[in-house]
């Protein structure tokens, strides 16, 4: 496996430094690790190792120059024991079946951990969206939605945005599905524009969830969120909302970064002013009163909380020994490689795993689906209040698993035990059909 493939393919919970060619092997290994903690027999977890459905589709798309290019698309439903499949659609050149299978399984754990009535799914198209015109992107999306039409739907499997896709892509998917059905069906996707049945509060939901999880995890370390020194890597949807809301909650955000580098201010950055500065200048670099620093320097800053909220594989074997945070909160999917996980565990730095830390997004996606289904939309305050309840309940369940299984140094495995137990209990109650 190339470094790039490994970094991209490794979200959520690679338990050992063993290098895997196939990211789905990481899923299998993590399932075994949690099964061992739970004392489960192989036969009990066998079904979790087999996605329910894996589909590959060929997508002929008319390009702007009149040629026809054939793209490959995927949709995997990993598990639907607790509800319809839920998971994003990724547009990226490296998308392949094994990656989509792994991402679908990670969605199963995330939805079970936050206790929303969804199973896990994921999809994607191997393409580089930055090289497609708007028209090509729309035609590709509509053909993909048409090819998986029979597999998706509010009762079956509900796509959402992921890397390389956004609300506009969801609008095209929703329109294609609705045209083929013959009626408007907003609940077929989440992460839609508000005017098409999206939910208030969805955009900031992942960042808001990170604040709740950070507060709970700091509480367990006897550190107050008020005045805690925070470093955020990545200043996109997740990172900028997390930084803004953490500062609003009284924390001191001392450094943030984007792909071009970071900025630091010892007594805290004024995040609302920084957001205005970025929208005017298109960059966070040169923000008055801040000092520049590289992303590597940023990750090594002494702080209470480090929130990697950019990309996969950012905390790795080469830099994990330099991390000087007291707590790591995984804002991105898979920011910590298996090797770094091991090093941080040995160094006693707790890592709150992505399936817990960034699950605010899927919680509000669930709320969006609920609102679409009954056609009545909640005010933002209600969305945020319900998000708080869901996130705290999930953290309470995680905390109980940490204590029960003595996993204070391995929050990732503790989170997996909660998720797997919930899915397996539902399976036992449903029994084996036919
Ligand atoms: P985004 O594209 O809005 O932002 C990504 C940010 O990371 C940008 O500021 C970019 O400049 C920065 N970045 C890219 N490469 C970097 C590097 N090498 N060093 C430092 N910064 C870098 O994406 P997003 O929606 O904020 O998602 C970020 C991560 O969170 C992804 O892993 C995504 O899968 C995950 N996630 C997102 C959501 C959501 O609701 N958006 C939910 C769950 C998980």
Protein residue with its CA nearest to atom 27 in ligand 1: 238
Residues 6-37: b if buried by 16+ CB within 10 A, e if exposed: bbbbbbbbbbeeeebebbbbbbbbbbebbbeb
% pLDDT > 70, the chain:
95
pLDDT band at 15 (very low <50, low <70, confident <90, very high): very low
Please give the DSSP secondary-structure letter assigned to residue 336.
B
State which ligand 1 atom lies nearest to the alpha carbon of 235.
9
pLDDT band at 311 (very low <50, low <70, confident <90, very high): confident
**Average pLDDT of span 65-78:** 98
Q: What distance in Å separates the CA atoms of residue 71 and residue 47, rounded to the nearest whole number?
A: 31
- pLDDT of amino acid 18: 43
> For 77-86, what is each residue's pLDDT tens digit?
999 999 999 9
**Average pLDDT of span 376-382:** 98
- pLDDT of amino acid 21: 58
Task: Measure 231 CA to ligand 1 centroid, in angstroms.
Answer: 15
- pLDDT of amino acid 424: 97
Q: What distance in Å separates the CA atoms of residue 3 and residue 11, rounded to the nearest whole number?
A: 14
**Average pLDDT of span 53-58:** 98
Q: Which tokens in the block code for residue 198? A: 């999206």
SS3 content of the chain, % helix, strand, coil (to 5): 50, 20, 35
pLDDT band at 290 (very low <50, low <70, confident <90, very high): very high
Task: Measure 64 CA to ligand 1 centroid, in angstroms.
Answer: 30
On whether the CB atoms of residues 287 and 274 are closer than 8 A, the answer is yes
> For 26-42, what is each residue's pLDDT tens digit?
788 889 999 999 999 99
% pLDDT > 90, the chain:
88
Three-state secondary-structure class, residue 255: strand
pLDDT band at 16 (very low <50, low <70, confident <90, very high): very low
State which ligand 1 atom lies nearest to the alpha carbon of 237.
26
| Whole-number average pLDDT of the chain | 93
Among the listed ranges 61-70, 98-107, 322-331, which one has the minimum average pLDDT value?
Answer: 98-107
- pLDDT of amino acid 13: 38
Residue of 311, 312, 353, 362 to test ligand 1 pocket, by largest number of atoms within 8 Å of CB: 311
Active site residues: 122
State which ligand 1 atom lies nearest to the alpha carbon of 238.
26
Protein residue with its CA nearest to atom 14 in ligand 1: 259
Q: Which tokens in the block code for residue 292? A: 């520049």
- pLDDT of amino acid 284: 97
> For 231-258, what is each residue's pLDDT tens digit?
999 999 999 999 999 999 999 999 999 9
Among the listed ranges 18-22, 121-125, 134-138, 199-203, which one has the minimum average pLDDT value?
Answer: 18-22
Q: What distance in Å separates the CA atoms of residue 331 and residue 309, rounded to the nearest whole number?
A: 4
- pLDDT of amino acid 1: 31
Report if pTM > 0.95: no
> In the predicted model, is pLDDT for residue 200 greater than 90?
yes
> For 329-374, what is each residue's pLDDT tens digit?
999 988 998 889 999 999 999 999 999 999 999 999 999 999 999 9
| Partners of 257 in the β-ladder | 233, 262
Ligand 1 site, CB within 6 A: 163, 206, 233-239, 257-259, 295, 309-311, 331-333, 358, 361
Using the Cα atoms of residue 129, residue 331, residue 412 and residue 119 in order, give the sign of their dihedral. Answer: negative
Contact residues for 272 (Cβ-Cβ < 8 A; gap 6+)? 244, 247
- pLDDT of amino acid 24: 87
> For 110-141, what is each residue's pLDDT tens digit?
999 999 999 999 999 999 999 999 999 999 99
């Amino acid at each position: 496996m190339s470094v790039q493939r490994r970094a991209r393919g490794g979200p959520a919970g690679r338990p050992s430094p063993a290098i895997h060619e196939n990211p789905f092997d990481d899923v299998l290994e993590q399932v075994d690790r949690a099964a061992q903690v739970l004392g489960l027999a192989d036969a009990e977890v066998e079904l979790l190792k087999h996605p329910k459905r894996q589909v590959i589709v060929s997508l002929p798309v008319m390009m702007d120059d009149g040629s026809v290019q054939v793209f490959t698309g995927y949709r995997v439903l990993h598990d639907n024991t607790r509800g319809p499949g839920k998971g994003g659609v990724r547009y990226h050149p490296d998308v392949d079946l094994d990656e989509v299978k792994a991402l679908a399984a990670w969605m199963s754990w995330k939805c079970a951990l936050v206790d929303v009535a969804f199973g896990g799914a994921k999809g994607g198209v191997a393409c580089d969206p930055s090289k497609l015109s708007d028209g090509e992107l729309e035609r590709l999306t509509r053909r993909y939605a048409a090819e998986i039409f029979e597999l998706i739907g509010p009762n079956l499997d509900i796509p959402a945005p992921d890397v390389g896709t956004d609300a506009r892509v969801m609008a095209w998917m929703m329109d294609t599905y609705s045209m083929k059905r013959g009626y408007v069906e907003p609940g077929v996707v989440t992460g839609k524009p508000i005017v098409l049945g999206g939910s208030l509060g969805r955009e900031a939901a992942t960042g808001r969830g990170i604040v709740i999880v950070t507060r709970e995890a700091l509480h367990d370390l006897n550190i107050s969120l008020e005045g805690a020194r925070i470093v955020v890597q990545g200043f996109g949807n997740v990172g900028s909302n997390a930084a803004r809301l953490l500062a609003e909650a009284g924390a001191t955000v001392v450094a943030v970064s984007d792909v071009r580098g970071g900025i630091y201010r010892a007594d805290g950055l004024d995040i609302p002013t920084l957001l205005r500065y970025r929208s005017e200048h298109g960059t966070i670099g040169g923000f008055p009163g801040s000092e520049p620093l590289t992303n590597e320097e940023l990750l090594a800053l002494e702080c209470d909380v480090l929130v990697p909220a950019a990309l996969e594989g950012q905390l790795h074997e080469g830099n994990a020994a330099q991390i000087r945070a007291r707590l790591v909160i995984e804002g991105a999917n898979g920011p910590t490689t298996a090797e770094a996980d091991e090093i941080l565990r040995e160094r006693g730095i707790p890592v709150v795993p992505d399936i817990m830390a960034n699950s605010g997004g899927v919680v509000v996606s669930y709320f969006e689906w609920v609102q679409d289904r009954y056609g009545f939309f909640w005010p933002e305050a209600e969305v945020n209040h319900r998000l708080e309840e869901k996130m705290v309940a999930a953290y309470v369940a995680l905390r109980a698993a940490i204590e029960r299984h003595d996993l204070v140094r391995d929050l990732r495995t503790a989170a997996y035990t909660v998720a797997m137990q919930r899915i397996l209990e539902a399976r036992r109650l449903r029994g084996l059909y036919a």
